Structure 1
Amino acid sequence: MNSVAPVGKLSIVIPAYNEDATIGRVLAQVEAVELLGNLTKEVIVVDDCSQDDTARIVQHYQAQHPHLAVQYYRHTVNQGKGAALHTGIRAANGDYIIIQDADLEYDPAEYNLLLQPVLRGVADVVYGSRFMGGSPHRVLFFWHSIGNRWLTMLTNLFANLNLTDMETCYKLFRRDIVQGLTLAEKRFGFEPEVTLKVARVPHIRIYEVGISYYGRTYAEGKKIGWRDGVQAIYCIIRYGLLR
């Protein structure tokens, strides 16, 4: 148990679309995490017009676990992951914001890995890299990994960074920084857009830490496809050139 007094709050933004098979377990894992420095948690679930039991499961969890501060927002029309993140980021009031997918590909127990640099006062933004080694990583699609690394390299070229995993879900921001950005991309273009824009914040300090990855196949519910890769290239060029 941490013995120090609370030093702030972590807002955990969870975009969800048809995730009734996993959303309950994700919330349970988030609740179980004991954060460094006794940080408190607020959980913001943004349901992007799911057609399954996502809403019922989240609302049932709210009722059964009132000590966990779970806020639930629902889009009346499906807009995309980026749009759900816009809603969640606007609603957050913690000192820090982290993005958590609802599909169990990422482990909430690793929040503290990302929190360490910001709590030490050396970082403003921390990315969790699936490619830095040292943690479990499910072996999946060759072309996905090549595409991910190529998109990261292209982003680095425009942003003058040396990230290893731009497309990672686990991005932790100081709230004032990410809420100060004007974000437009409503689908998976969120990832390159937020990276390129945060890289231009004066005196920004960006860190990476290695994380584990429990990836899904398409049969298990993975949603991103080649069209999203093409859109990501467009976004990298657009926001890389647009200042």
Structure 2
Amino acid sequence: MVIKKLSIIIPVYNEAETIHLILNKIKNVILLDNILKEIIIVDDCSEDNTYEKIKSYLELNSDADIYYFKHEKNKGKGAALHTGISKAKGDYLIIQDADLEYDPAEYNRLLKPVIDGFADVVYGSRFMGSQPHRVLFFWHTIGNKFLTFLTNVFSNLNLTDMETCYKLFKTSLIQGIKLKEQRFGFEPEVTLKISRIPRIRIYEVGISYYGRTYEEGKKISWKDGFRAIYCILKYGVFK
């Protein structure tokens, strides 16, 4: 499979402390087969100085292929992803959080099954392989595994990490799916809908995970977990 360009979708909300760091990490990544990078930042109406940090970065890196979009009101991570996906021009796209929990140096891990001709979609799993994984919240892990299990029940997949940020899609494929969820319900919705595409080839690869505490800026809460269950039932049962 020949991939000329990879679109990197970054949903942003109050990430002034890390946005320039993650952009530097992305900039330094050399992709397999010299694949070009297109970075799409979607600012979901941040209330800190995220915009100023991005503006400064763009001025210092005018040669980079970076596009900035801003929501006029806060809509949620899913809504930011909808905007980013609609703007993508790469052959494939990957989702990248604006914090430092996921390492862009691992993009090539996800790209390899596609380049080798095996995959249309690749998920980066935090629960397989031997990559570094920060030890944090027991109940979050149980919750993630339960949500993955429930998604697998309705999709007939055998994923190990449905809630992962790192999801790599063929752009034309994901742009052809009507997505509705505005917040963290994006993860089960897109997984269930992608699983129903005839002859779709979904792979997983192990990735590292440098998780954050709530004091360090983590945003997902138990309420999002209940919403995810609702979304799994909504898109799994009623389709």
Q: TM-score range by the shorter chain?
A: over 0.9
From 25, 30, 35, the counterpart of 1:29: 25
Please say if residues 59 and 72 of structure 1, whose CA atoms lie closer than 8 Å, have aligned partners that are also in contact: no
What CA distance in whole angstroms lies between the structure 1 residues aligned with 2:132 and 2:82? 30
Mapped to 1, the partners of 2:50 and 2:171 lie a distance apart of 27
Aligned with 1:200 (options 196, 199, 214): 196
Q: CA separation in 2, counterparts of 1:29 and 1:67? A: 16
Once superposed, what is the RMSD of the aligned Cα atoms?
A: 0.8
Which runs of no fewer than 5 residues in structure 1 stay unpaired? Answer: 1-5
- Equivalent in 48, 57, 67 of residue 52 of structure 1: 48
Counterpart pick for 1:155 among 132, 151, 154: 151
State how far apart, in whole Å, the 2-side matches of 1:147 and 1:234 are: 14
Q: How many matched pairs?
A: 238
The within-5 A match list for 1:55-134 is 55-134=51-130
Matched, 1:231 2:221: no
Counterpart CA distance in 2 for 1:59 and 1:123 is 36
- Cα deviation, 1:138-160, whole Å, max 9, x if unaligned, reads 00000000000000000000000
Mapped to 2, the partners of 1:234 and 1:75 lie a distance apart of: 26
Aligned amino acid, residue 74 of structure 2:
N
Q: Would you say the 8 A contact 1:14–1:88 is kept in 2?
A: yes
Q: 1:229 to 1:7 in 2, by over 3 A?
A: closer
Contact kept? 1:99, 1:170, Cα under 8 Å = yes
Percent identity reads 65
Q: Is contact 2:41–2:68 with CA below 8 Å preserved after alignment?
A: yes
What do the CA deviations read for 1:26-49 (whole angstroms, capped 9, x no partner)?
000000000001100000000000
2:184 alignment counterpart: 188
- Could you list the runs of 4 or more consecutive aligned residues of structure 1 that deviate by over 4 angstroms after TM superposition? none
Structure 1 position 7, deviation (Å): 4.2
